[in-house]
Structure 1
Amino acid sequence: MTGKHVRLFLVDGKPGGLMTAEIGNWTGHVLKGKRLELGEIRTRPEASRTGIYILFGTGDDDERVAYIGESDNVGKRLVDHDAKKHFWDEVVIVTSKDANLTSAHVRYLESRLVRIAKDIGRIPLVNIQGPTGGADLPEADASDMDYFIDQVRILMPVLGHDIFRGRATTQSVPVNRAKGQAALELEQVAPDSPTFFLRTPKGIEARAQVLDGEFTLLEGSIVSSVMRRSGKQAASTARQFESRSIQHADLMKVVEPLSGGELGRVLKDVVYSSPSAAAAVVLGRATANGRIEWVDELGKSYGAWEAAQAER
């Protein structure tokens, strides 16, 4: 991928305040702000345009959730959501600088982004009904909107939201495709690394890759369904075990148990802060040296691969 010139502007000069974002040679415009800034957001010209918006907040289980919508006047729609939706604390508005987005365009964008967010599954959506996708777009318009989506997916992590970051793992039919046409895969994230494996004689068969700079345990991996203490532990190891146990419990939420009860199959990609964190959780242990445990098809360790990248 070629480089991108991202321009961020702090409207009030504060990093936690109202912010705009643009990418060079892209007609899109992004505005990010807190709910408490809704009064100021409504007065901005982009808020009166046709566009999509993403509400971010906290669900009943204290985890981050989101809502994706579209409107011919985003500002007015947000006022309605301010009265009726209580979960959200931040909004991202995506419009066009040239004001060429139509109602059909944003319905297409909404439908595609909802599908991508659900398929990646990093942040649950609270959308009760799935978008219809609106009228079919001409082929050229659909291509323009797919490029528009690519830019949105680049900007969102820059703005601190990973809702569209990751690998789309199922197949979907784009909303402008006629019924009966072959399904096309959603945009795939090009891997930054080869596939690494972690295998044990007891049946663990995990796969991982670096995707978009993140060490990612891949869907379909076979992992330990239990955490095991290794005899008497030092205080530091005991603390590490408790930390890994929490991560392991989170992983088990997306694991399908296999016969025997000690192994499970991962149902979606899961991101970890490091290969060692991933290895420890996969193995069900307090600690693991992921730089050694993960190896590629030729037996080359993750650590050796990483060192080779640094020398390039």
Structure 2
Amino acid sequence: MLGKTIQIYLTDGNPRGIRVADITSRTIQALLIPRSHLKEGLSRPEIEGVGIYLLFGETESSTKPLVYIGEAEDCKKRISQHNLSTSKINWNTALVITSKTLYFTKSHVKYLENYCYTSALNSGRFQLQNISTPTKSYIPDPVVADLMDIFETMKILVSTLGFPVFDIMSKKKTKHTLICEGKGAKAFGNYTEDGLTVLKKSSANLLVTPSASPWISNYRKSLLDGEIIFIKDGFYEFKEDYIFESVSRASSVILGRNSNGWSQWKYENGRTLDEVIRQDIS
């Protein structure tokens, strides 16, 4: 992949406040608004007009971050409506995508809304809050090609701002795949910039040890309730790939006890994650 120059403007100098991001050679811009800064965000010119928006949130019981994907002819008005709505959409950050050249039409954003929804669903990183699949508008093939180019820019900007909702997780076992096993459980994983991705069909011990920290049982319960894992043949089995931000959290959930993930996750040659990643670098 070629390098990209991304410009991020902090509208009030606060790195955790409102941010405007764009790739300097592209016409698409992304406006990120924390809900606590919504009043100021609604006054930004980037929120005006036709566009795509994403609402990000989380709950204590959710095993994945939440996202709602929508489109609007007037993004400012639509985000304001979401703020006042009594709907069950849980959000604390809005991210609005608009065109600096006012290129978008209603048909464009309807098509992109559907494509973004499908891409987020296929990615599996976020839990979608949309009640139904957005309708896809008819677009001529030459315009579809332009919109796919725009989507790739959107994907980069959204991920750069901290929400990799469209990024596909690696689903293949490779020579770099890690293994964590104990008492019959065997899990496979990949270590990436996101953390430790435990692969589908990995197994985890059904019981936790008496000395295990309470959070381990609680976390496993949330995975079970969220249908990320299920019971099969005396073990938990992962129904899908799942990202743990901490390698030790991943190994502790797999083994059912407190553990150091840097020593528990090993490559097929027997070397630990600690030996390959931390010690080799130092």
TM-score tier after normalising by the smaller chain length: 0.7 to 0.9
- Is the 1:197–1:295 contact (alpha carbons within 8 Å) kept by the matching residues of 2? yes
- 1:88 match: secondary structure: coil
Q: CA RMSD in A?
A: 3.1
2:178 corresponds to 1:196: yes
- Is the 2:219–2:253 contact (alpha carbons within 8 Å) kept by the matching residues of 1? yes
Q: What's 1:3 paired with?
A: 3
Q: Paired residue for 1:256, among 222, 230, 237?
A: 230
Q: Pick closer, same or farther for the CA change 1:32–1:79 going to 2, 3 Å.
A: same
- Is the 1:227–1:248 contact (alpha carbons within 8 Å) kept by the matching residues of 2? no
Q: What's 1:214 paired with?
A: 195
Q: What's 2:21 paired with?
A: 21
Q: What's 2:77 paired with?
A: 76
2:117 corresponds to 1:135: no
Deviation per CA, 1:18-62: give whole Å up to 9, x if none.
221112322210111134544444443332222101123456957
Q: What's 1:56 paired with?
A: 56
| Distance (Å, rounded) in 2 between the aligned partners of 1:30 and 1:100 | 14
Q: Give the count of matched residue pairs.
A: 277
- Displaced runs of 4+ in structure 1, greater than 6 A? 190-193
- Is the 2:194–2:243 contact (alpha carbons within 8 Å) kept by the matching residues of 1? no
Please report the TM-score for the alignment, with normalisation by the length of structure 2.
Answer: 0.83
Q: Paired residue for 2:272, among 294, 297, 301?
A: 301
Q: What's 1:183 paired with?
A: none
Identical-pair percentage: 27
| Distance (Å, rounded) in 2 between the aligned partners of 1:77 and 1:191 | 43
Amino acid at match of 1:255: I
Higher relative contact order (CA closer than 8 Å, sequence separation 6+): 2
Q: Pick closer, same or farther for the CA change 1:125–1:3 going to 2, 3 Å.
A: same
| Distance (Å, rounded) in 1 between the aligned partners of 2:177 and 2:5 | 30
Counterparts of residues 268-287 of structure 1 (less than 5 Å): 268-287=240-259
Please report the TM-score for the alignment, with normalisation by the length of structure 1.
Answer: 0.75
- Is the 1:206–1:223 contact (alpha carbons within 8 Å) kept by the matching residues of 2? yes
| Distance (Å, rounded) in 2 between the aligned partners of 1:135 and 1:49 | 21
For structure 1, the 5+ residue unaligned runs are: 170-189
Please, which moves more after superposition, 24-33 or 58-67? 58-67
For structure 2, the 5+ residue unaligned runs are: none
Counterparts of residues 224-243 of structure 1 (less than 5 Å): 224-229=205-210, 241-243=213-215
| Distance (Å, rounded) in 2 between the aligned partners of 1:159 and 1:264 | 34
**Shift of residue 217 of structure 1?**
1.0
| Distance (Å, rounded) in 1 between the aligned partners of 2:167 and 2:135 | 23
| Distance (Å, rounded) in 2 between the aligned partners of 1:224 and 1:60 | 24
- Is the 2:196–2:247 contact (alpha carbons within 8 Å) kept by the matching residues of 1? yes
**Shift of residue 267 of structure 1?**
1.4
| Distance (Å, rounded) in 2 between the aligned partners of 1:165 and 1:144 | 20
- Is the 1:224–1:283 contact (alpha carbons within 8 Å) kept by the matching residues of 2? yes
| Distance (Å, rounded) in 2 between the aligned partners of 1:53 and 1:77 | 9
2:112 corresponds to 1:109: yes
Q: Paired residue for 1:266, among 238, 245, 263?
A: 238
Q: What's 2:148 paired with?
A: 146
- Is the 2:183–2:205 contact (alpha carbons within 8 Å) kept by the matching residues of 1? no
